Amino acid sequence: MKILKYPDKKLFVKCKPVSVFGPELKVLLDAMWETMIEGNGMGLASNQVGLNFRMFTMLGPKNEKFYIINPSIVSASIVSANLKEGCLSAPGEFLVLEERKSWVKLKFQDETGQEHEKVFKGIHAVCVQHETDHLDGKSHLQSKSLHKATRKELAKKWGFKLK
């Protein structure tokens, strides 16, 4: 799969919930996983490869494979993670976002449709928040917690309008 880079419009579109679970979905997730690993990424949201489903792949804390479908963050720490995050759609750009929490409890479904609730910590918590934002069409490059001058610079560099 081809990874879309900013300012591709698909990266700003809110993805639709997944309602059909079956072999076709697994094929897409496997292909996303391969693409993410090849790109040395930790997470990849479906709209980063031109799809429109609320799902992402993530390399877990024990290097396990996570297929996260229809995610929602149900609770989170008050404390910020204060960790740098990168993005396969903005190669070479690493940012620390104040709003990222140091842990989050995530409700999601796996590729069979089974529901799970799991706490992710540290960089994995940041990854979950980053990918969930992708599915809402939100970019870390446009985070309101960044200084206006930084956002202006990022908008110019990655070719989108400053919000």
Residues near Zn ion (CB under 5 A): 87
Between 87 and 146, whose beta carbon lies closer to Zn ion? 87
Between 96 and 112, whose beta carbon lies closer to Zn ion? 96
Length of the chain: 163
Q: What 3-state class would DSSP assign to 115?
A: strand
Between 21 and 158, whose beta carbon lies closer to Zn ion? 158
Q: Nearest distance from residue 116's CB to Zn ion, in Å? A: 22
Residue nearest to Zn ion (CB): 87
**Catalytic one of 24, 117, 131, 153:** 131
Q: Quick check: 96 and 151 in contact, CB under 8 A?
A: no
Q: Nearest distance from residue 82's CB to Zn ion, in Å? A: 18
Q: What 3-state class would DSSP assign to 126?
A: helix
* Residue 112, CA distances (Å) to 23, 72, 95, 108 in order: 9, 17, 34, 11
Q: Quick check: 15 and 135 in contact, CB under 8 A?
A: yes
**Residue 93 falls in the annotated catalytic set:** no
Residues acting as catalytic residues? 131
